[in-house]
Amino acid sequence: MSQRQFSANLGFLWKELTLPDAIRAARAAGFDAVECHWPYDTSVAQTQQALAETGLKMLGLNTVRGAAGENGLSALPGREADARVAIDQALGYAQAIGAGAVHVMAGFAHGQAAHETFVANLRYAADQAPNLTILIEPLNRHDAPGYFLTTTDQARAIIAETGRLNVKLMFDCYHVGRMEGDITTRFADLLPVIGHVQFASVPDRAAPDQGELNYAHIFAEISRLGYGAPLGAEYKPGGPTEQTLGWMQSLRA
């Protein structure tokens, strides 16, 4: 049986390094892929060079958050023009570096107008880049109170409403664990719409070898269900990243 693959989320891991050096650190640590949040302060050429040098693929990146306190633009009524500039920026960067996905951040909003705005912007993103996966991610209400997208059921309904096959769910075990629990049952139910998986301990968002979730069991079930793409380590190291990677060997099997 092939070993399980892991992606380093460089929004949390090796935050003290530049993006190119964080990519190199992830390769040295044994990760199989990388992903990031907002790479836009790093030139495409620098990111391309680090990816080529290490042989790693950048799985995905996020649209920008917008102004302070917005946490995304795509569900904000009246901000459609800004949201689409952010989408175009993310799609362009992703395509230039060979990334496979863009997470379109919704922002702090609520109500039917926000819902309609988000669906319209997701359709725009999906149509602009049919070769990419457009991801949406529910964020838990403890960490992001007021965020528009909070549950996997809400995400699934939005995905269906877009009518676009390349709009998928970012299944973050941490956020699902904080909001809904029942991780493996939720994963199995949502598998047809899942485009990427992330993980961290619950409730403190630390390395996955602590907290209340049994990731050996969760990952075994994910594999049993046939999901074989790299799983994204998006946790807060609480110290030098290299000192928090003891979980990798045991959870690869």
Which is nearest to 104 in space by CA: 96, 127, 113? Answer: 127
- In sequence order, the β-bridge partners of residue 8 are 34, 233
Which is nearest to 84 in space by CA: 98, 73, 95? Answer: 73
Structure tokens at 11: 């929004």
Helix and strand numbers (H, E) in the chain are 9, 8
Neighbours of 226 (CB within 10 A): 7
C-alpha to C-alpha distance for 116 and 135, rounded to whole angstroms: 17
Q: What are phi and psi of 2, to 5 degrees?
A: -70, 155
- In sequence order, the β-bridge partners of residue 171 are 197
Residue 246 CB contacts under 8 Å (≥ 6 apart), including other chains: 207, 209
The amino acid that residue 101 corresponds to is: A
Is 98 within 8 Å of 61 (Cβ atoms)? no
Catalytic residue among 35, 161, 180, 234: 234
Structure tokens at 179: 């909001």
Catalytic residue among 35, 137, 180, 242: 137
The amino acid that residue 133 corresponds to is: T
C-alpha to C-alpha distance for 102 and 59, rounded to whole angstroms: 9
Q: Is 234 a catalytic residue?
A: yes
Residues forming the active site:
137, 234
